[in-house]
Amino acid sequence: MSAPAVRYRLSMPEPHTHLYEVEVETEAAGASLDFVMPAWTPGSYLMREFAGQVEGFHAEDERGAPLPWAKQDKCSWRVITDPARGPVRIRYRVHANELTVRTSHLDASHGFVNGTGVFMYVAGRGGEPVGLAVDAPPGWRVVTELDGDGTSFRAEDYDHLADSPLEIGRSTVVDFDIDGIPHRYAFWGEGNWHRERLIRDTTRIVRANRSLFGALPYDRFTFIVHLIPGGRGGLEHRDSTVLQADPRAFEGSAYERFLGLLAHEHFHVWNGKRIRPAPLGPFDYTRENYTRNLWVVEGLTTYYTERGLLWSGTVTPERHLERLSKSIDHYLSQPGRCRQTLAESSFDAWIKLYRPNAHAQNSRISYYLKGALVGLVLDLRLREMTGGARSLDDVMRVLWERYGVRDRGFPEGSREGIEPLVNEVAGTDLSDHFDRWIRSTEELELGEALETAGLRLHRPMGSGAPSSAADVRRCIDRHLGLRIDEDSLRVNAVRAGTPAHDAGINADDLIVSVDGWAPDPLGLAALAAPSQETVRTILVERRGRHVGLEMSVPPGPIRGPLQIERVPDPTPGQARRLGEWMAPRGGTHGTEAG
């Protein structure tokens, strides 16, 4: 790697103030240099305006004499330079007190750096080699996938620096190898994780993901895990990932969710970081980078999250179908699926998905959710059309070989990129299918696709009045169209085309009474499916005033959640396709840690 052309120094002399101190030094070139703070972070499609956390900007020459500068726009500073005065050095502080996987954090216990929120880049010189020195408090160490000696690090260019998060502190590090390649966990916070079990399950999932593509695409990998109450979410990077989890997330259903998050973010090392739409790298960090293919990046990764859990033996085949049925049930409960296409959902991520509101379920659909179900339909259809010879796995491998290995983005257009590759794998033109799945709001043929593998969708009758909290929430949502805060009975959202929506109940209404009685969630759910058409008198408090409404509730019965079940007498073809679709890949099932 060439000598650094841009040199950074990161300090944190008073961590409790949440202030990082950053110094950037580079050679002067011409009359001025522009230093730019990114406005967003790759993998999270929202303008976060990181420049808003910058303070104390200062510029000087190599002798420390001030250089004139002026801010050009919301995120760039122009420094007037003179090559005769030697290198240019800028200094600034960044306030970092937002603890998410997408932002940066610093306090007395640790520092976490997501590069785009801390490091400015030199405009026009983002491709030059980078050096980084970290001055950490005594006893703290730096965990990152940048090459270095623990205090000084190197990056190929700014993109590499920005895509290599740093965990700085007294994290608990767990090292292990998978197929001879070093992996490690770096935990900040205490939790109920068990070392041997976590290594075993992580190894299974990594090998399951690898089995699709043939080899791991990195020389080493780090899982940075922040354990905080209520923690959730992850963000992908080329050679690492950052995960948040509750300290008690390593038992029961919570552990299954954690492993699902891990499988999702790890699959991104192929799909998202290396296989990617052309607009998603190299990046313009100052503005939105639009693509209609986020459903490929996130939706197909979500589909393969479930496949990875199945292939690894982390979930059983029956549990796999249960998880899939919940996704389909959730999708079919979203009126927005009939309002927004998958391509529009991808394109509008910047203004919609990351900015949810009470109307969101009625007006839009998640490219994670629908994209995963398109992956399901496409996978099963390819298997049917080719007699089991080809599948979505083949499409992913071709994408990897033609774009991922070469580290170049696939084109955006419908006649380029992924769609022609699918046609190539299928041996026929599926443009009409893509028009329906991606560019229209027509319903997905989920039932027909599942039937090709001897499966069917079924919604059983409920067993009576709901009793559990989950049953109560589902009943109120599905039968009345209300999402409410169970403690206050305040309405969070109203689903279109439901009794509550037709009655004129609004988000943020407080339910005061139903038929003159003060309700609780269980009582409200019990009223949701009467034996005959019933009109309920609803009193709500809205902006300090009581408003009376009438809600017409159609007759029951209360029906349970959607289920995927096996057809009783599958044909030989159905049985064969189900076995092939459910079988683990590459012998990964049950493998122990290596």
Residue that is last in its domain, among 244, 269, 294: 269
Asked, for residue 460, whether it belongs to a domain, the answer is no
Q: Are residues 379 and 481 in the same domain?
A: no
Q: Are residues 43 and 151 in the same domain?
A: yes
The confidence score (pLDDT) of residue 591 equals 38
Residue that is last in its domain, among 169, 195, 217: 169
In contact, 588 and 311? CB cutoff 8 Å: yes
Asked, for residue 491, whether it belongs to a domain, the answer is yes
Q: Are residues 311 and 438 in the same domain?
A: yes
The confidence score (pLDDT) of residue 478 equals 84
Asked, for residue 512, whether it belongs to a domain, the answer is yes
Asked, for residue 461, whether it belongs to a domain, the answer is no
Q: Are residues 539 and 479 in the same domain?
A: yes
Q: Cα(302)–Cα(520) distance, rounded to whole angstroms?
A: 36
Q: Are residues 374 and 487 in the same domain?
A: no
Asked, for residue 274, whether it belongs to a domain, the answer is no
Residue that is last in its domain, among 169, 198, 230: 169
The confidence score (pLDDT) of residue 476 equals 86
Instruction: Please give the structure tokens belonging to residue 7.
Output: 């040199």
Q: What b-and-e string marks burial along 406-440, b requiring 16 or more CB atoms within 10 Å of the CB?
A: eeebbbeebeebbbbbbbebbeeebeebbebbbee
- Expressed as residue numbers, the domain containing 120 is 6-169
Q: What is the pLDDT along the chain (594 residues), one digit of tens a residue?
A: 678 999 999 999 999 999 999 999 999 988 999 999 999 999 999 999 999 999 999 999 989 999 999 999 999 999 999 998 999 999 999 999 999 999 999 999 999 999 999 999 999 999 999 999 999 999 999 999 999 999 999 999 999 999 999 999 999 999 999 999 999 999 999 999 999 999 999 999 999 999 999 999 999 999 999 999 999 999 999 999 999 999 999 999 999 999 999 999 999 999 999 999 999 989 999 999 999 999 999 999 999 999 999 999 999 999 999 999 999 999 999 999 999 999 999 999 999 999 999 999 999 999 999 999 999 999 999 999 999 999 999 999 999 999 999 999 999 976 778 999 999 999 999 999 999 999 999 999 999 999 999 999 998 876 555 666 777 788 888 889 999 998 899 999 999 999 999 999 999 999 999 999 888 888 787 777 777 888 999 999 999 999 999 999 888 777 778 999 999 999 999 999 999 999 876 544 443 333
3 state DSSP class of 371: helix
Q: Cα(23)–Cα(34) distance, rounded to whole angstroms?
A: 15
CATH number of 45's domain: 2.60.40.3650
Global pTM reads 0.94
Domain count, the chain: 4
Phi, psi of 443 (to 5 degrees): -70, 140
Q: Are residues 364 and 410 in the same domain?
A: yes
Q: Are residues 417 and 285 in the same domain?
A: yes
Q: What angle do CA 524, 526, 529 make, to 5 degrees?
A: 105
Asked, for residue 566, whether it belongs to a domain, the answer is no
Q: Are residues 188 and 42 in the same domain?
A: no
Asked, for residue 539, whether it belongs to a domain, the answer is yes
Q: Report which of 384, 377, 454, 370 is spatially closest to residue 426, judged by C-alpha positions.
A: 384
Q: Are residues 446 and 545 in the same domain?
A: no
Q: Are residues 18 and 121 in the same domain?
A: yes
Q: Cα(343)–Cα(364) distance, rounded to whole angstroms?
A: 11
3 state DSSP class of 413: coil
Q: Are residues 478 and 591 in the same domain?
A: no
The confidence score (pLDDT) of residue 584 equals 75
CATH number of 525's domain: 2.30.42.10
User: For the chain, percent helix, then strand, then coil, each to nearest 5?
Assistant: 35, 25, 40
Amino acid (1-letter code) at residue 544 = G
Q: Cα(188)–Cα(396) distance, rounded to whole angstroms?
A: 34
Please, which residues have CB within 8 angstroms of residue 499's CB and are 6 or more apart in sequence? Answer: 479, 480, 481, 551, 552, 553, 554
The confidence score (pLDDT) of residue 592 equals 35
In contact, 70 and 78? CB cutoff 8 Å: yes
CATH number of 376's domain: 1.10.390.10
Q: Are residues 204 and 163 in the same domain?
A: no
Q: In the β-sheet with 88-95, what is the strand arrangement from edge to edge?
A: 54-60, 88-95, 19-26, 6-11, 130-135, 152-155, 147-148
Asked, for residue 560, whether it belongs to a domain, the answer is no
Please, which residues have CB within 8 angstroms of residue 249's CB and are 6 or more apart in sequence? Answer: 191, 192, 227, 231, 255, 257, 258
